[in-house]
Amino acid sequence: MPSILIVDDEETVRETFHDVLELEGHDVLTASSFNEAKAMLAEQRFDVALTDLMLPQESGLSLLRYAADHDETMSVVMVTGHPDLTTAVEALKEGAYDYITKPVTRPVLLAVVERASERNALLREKGRLEAENEDYQRSLERKVRERTARLRESEKRYRELFQETRRAYEELKETQEKLIRSERLAAVGELAAQIAHEIRNPLGAISNSVGVLRRDLELHGDDRRLLEVVHDESQRLEDIVADFLRFARPRPIHKIPEQVTAILDDLLLLLSQERAAKSEIRIEKHYGADLPLVELDSAQTREALWNLLVNAVEAMPKGGTISVSATRSTKRGDFLEVVVADTGKGIHAGERDKIFEPFHTTKAEGTGLGLAIVHRVVEAHAGEVEVESEEGQGSTFRLRFPLSPESSSDERQPIEIHR
Ligand SMILES: Nc1ncnc2c1ncn2[C@@H]1O[C@H](COP(=O)(O)OP(=O)(O)O)[C@@H](O)[C@H]1O
Ligand SMILES: [Mg+2]
C-alpha cells in the first residue's frame, strides 16, 4: 500500500484526511509545517504528499522544490482553501501533480490519491526498469569484455601451441634423421669391419714381404723410390685398418687405479719425439698438486689422449702451443679433468656437433675415427667430454673422469657402432 504524507496547519483537516485514507488501508503520516514534513522526508520515503499551499512559515511550494531535489518520484498534490488561477499555474509549473480545493470531499480525496499513487508506481517502475536496463547494459559490456579477453587468451594459447607443435615436429624430424643416419652408419660400420678384418691378413703379408724386399733388394733411382712408396703406403693402410677395427670392435674396459699425469708424461715425450719436432710446437704442462689416482683402462685412455694430441699437432701446421693440464674438479661432482688445448686453426661452429661422429673428417688423409674413439672411451669410463673452439684461435678439449667411488665403480659397457 502507498505511503502518504499530509501537511496542513489545520488539525481538523489533517485528522480527517488521515482517517479517510487510513481506512482505505494507506500508511498515513501527518505534519503541521514544511519543516516538520522535511524532517519526516529525511527519515522515510513517501509515495504521495498532500500539502496545503498556505502554511505558517514556508508555503507548500517549498515542499514541491524539496521533492524535485530529493525524490522526483514522490507525487505532490496541492490543496488550497483559496483557489486562484495564478497560484494553481505556479504550483503546476513547479511540478505539482494535481491541484484540489477545500473543502475536499471524500471521493475527490480518494480519487486524487489513487491517481497520484498510480503515477508514482509507474514512475518507480520506470526507475526500476531503467536501473535494471543499466545493470543489464553494464553486465553485457562486462561479458563482452570478458569474452574478448578470453578469446585473446585462447588465441595466444593457440599460437603458443602451434609454435610448440612446430618445434616438437622439427625436433622429431631431426631425431629421426639422426636415427636414420646412425642406423645406416651401424650397418655400414659392421660391413666395413668385416672387410677390414678380411684385409688385415693379406695386408700384413704384403707389408712383411715389402719389408723383406726393401732389405734384400739392391734397387736404385725410381725403382727404389717406388718400393719406398709401397712400403709407406702399406704401413699407412695397416694403421688405418687397425684404427678402424679398434673403433668398430671395441675391447672391453679394464680399469685399474692410474696416475693420469704419468700417462700424459709418456705421451708428451713420444709426441715431442715423433710429431712435434717436425713443426715449431711448444708443449706446456700444468698439473695440479697431489692428484689422486683414478680408475682407468690405461691402454684405451692412452689411445684417446693420443688422438687428442695428434689432432692438436695436425691443427697447427705452422706451429703453436699445446697446453696440457690435469686437475681435480669438484664443480659438478668429483672429477679428474684433463685438458688438451691448442692454438691451431679451430673448429667451424657448424662442424662442432659432428666432430665426434665416426668417419667425420676434414683432413685429406684422416679417418675421422680419432674423436669417435675419444668419445667412446670417455663414456665407457662414465666420464664427460667437452669442446670449446674459436675458429683461427684454437681448440680446447676437456675430459672428465669420475673420482667418486659410486661413479668410478660403474662398469659400463663400451658403446658399439655395430649391432
Ligand atoms: N684440435 C683440433 N683443432 C681443429 N680441428 C679439430 C681438432 N680436433 C679435431 N678436429 C676436427 O675434427 C675432425 C675429426 O677428428 P678425428 O675424429 O680425430 O678425425 P681425423 O683426425 O682423422 O680427421 C677433424 O677432421 C677436424 O676437422
Ligand atoms: Mg684425428
Contact call for residues 1 and 93 (beta carbons, < 8 A): no
- Could you tell me if 308 and 386 lie in one domain? yes
Q: Which of 309, 311, 347 to mutate to test the pocket of ligand 1 (most atoms within 8 A of CB)?
A: 311
| Residue range 274-301, pLDDT digits in tens | 776 667 899 999 999 989 999 999 999 9
Residue 145 covered by a domain: no
Verify whether ligand 1 is closer than 6 Å to residue 55 (CB atom). no
Ligand nearest to the CA of 388: 1
Residue 380 amino acid letter: A
Pocket test for ligand 1, best of 361, 385, 387, 398 (most atoms within 8 A of CB): 361
Which is the closest atom of ligand 1 to the Cα of 373? Answer: 17
**Position 415 in a domain:** no
The low-confidence residues of the chain, meaning pLDDT below 70, are 181-182, 185, 276-278, 404-419
Among the three residues 212, 232, 248, which one is the final residue of a domain in this structure?
248
Which ligand 1 atom is the nearest neighbour of the CA of 356? 17
Structural domain containing residue 389: 256-408
pLDDT at residue number 246: 79
pLDDT at position 405 is 59
Please tell me if the CB atom of residue 414 comes closer than 6 angstroms to any atom of ligand 1: no
64 and 13, same structural domain? yes
Same structural domain, 64 and 44: yes
Using the 3D structure, point to which of 78, 104, 130 is the last residue of a domain: 104
16 and 70: one domain? Answer: yes
Question: Residue 241 corresponds to which cell in the numbers above?
Answer: 685398418
- In DSSP terms, 296 is beta-bridged to 256
Residue 222 lies inside a defined structural domain of this protein: yes
Q: Find out whether the beta carbon of 342 lies less than 6 Å from any atom of ligand 1.
A: yes
pLDDT the model gives residue 276: 61
Distance 372 CA to ligand 1 centre (A): 10
Ligand 1 geometric centre to CA of 303 (Å): 15
Do 263 and 389 fall within a single domain?
yes
Question: What spacing in Å lies between the alpha carbon of 227 and ligand 2's midpoint?
Answer: 27
* CB-ligand 1 contact for 312 (6 Å cutoff): yes
Confidence at residue 124, expressed as pLDDT on a 0 to 100 scale:
84
pLDDT of residue 18: 95
**Helix H or strand E encompassing 41:** helix 34-43
Whether residue 126 lies inside any domain: the answer is no
User: In this predicted structure, what is the pLDDT of residue 419?
Assistant: 36
Query: How many A from CA of 238 to the centre of ligand 2?
Result: 16
The secondary structure element, H or E, covering residue 168 is helix 106-216
Q: Give the CATH number, domain containing residue 76.
A: 3.40.50.2300
The span from the CA of 328 to the CA of 293, in Å, is 11
Q: Please indicate, yes or no, whether residues 265 and 399 belong to a single structural domain of this protein.
A: yes
Pairwise CA distance, residues 281 & 272, whole Å: 8
Tell me the three state secondary structure of residue 388: strand
Domain finish residue from 89, 104, 119: 104
List b or e across 296-317, with b for residues whose CB sees 16 or more CB atoms inside 10 angstroms.
bbeebbbbbbbbbbebbbbbbe
Nearest CA to ligand 1 atom 18: 370
The 10s digit of each residue's pLDDT in 310-369 is 999 999 999 999 999 999 988 888 999 999 999 999 999 988 888 998 888 999 888 888
Q: Is residue 197 located within the same domain as residue 243?
A: yes
Measured CA angle at 365 (ends 359, 367), to 5 deg: 20
C-alpha 376: how far from its chain's center?
A: 34
- Indicate if 231 and 300 belong to the same structural domain: no
Beta strand ranges found along 201-355 (DSSP E): 256-258, 281-287, 294-296, 320-329, 335-342
Note whether 133 and 147 are within 8 A (CB): no
Domain membership of residue 213 (yes or no) is yes
Among the bound ligands, name the one nearest to the CA of residue 244: 1
User: Are 80 and 219 part of one and the same domain?
Assistant: no
Assess whether 218 and 267 both reside in one domain.
Answer: no
**CATH code, domain with 285:** 3.30.565.10
From 18, 29, 26, 22, select the one nearest 1 (Cα to Cα): 26
CB 264 within 8 A of CB 222: no
Asked, for residue 227, whether it belongs to a domain, the answer is: yes
Res 123: pLDDT:
86
pLDDT at residue 357, as a whole number: 86
Asked if the structure places residue 273 within a domain, the reply is yes
Centroid of chain to Cα 152: 19
Domain assignment present for 129: no
For residue 415, what pLDDT is reported? 45
Distance in Å, CA 294 to ligand 1 centroid: 27
Domain count, the chain: 3
- Is the CB of 396 inside a 6 Å radius of any atom of ligand 1? no
Q: What is the pLDDT of residue 408?
A: 40
Residues 39 and 78 in one domain: yes
Looking up residue 207, the CATH number of its domain turns out to be 1.10.287
Instruction: Determine contact, residues 64/7, Cβ cutoff 8 Å.
Output: no
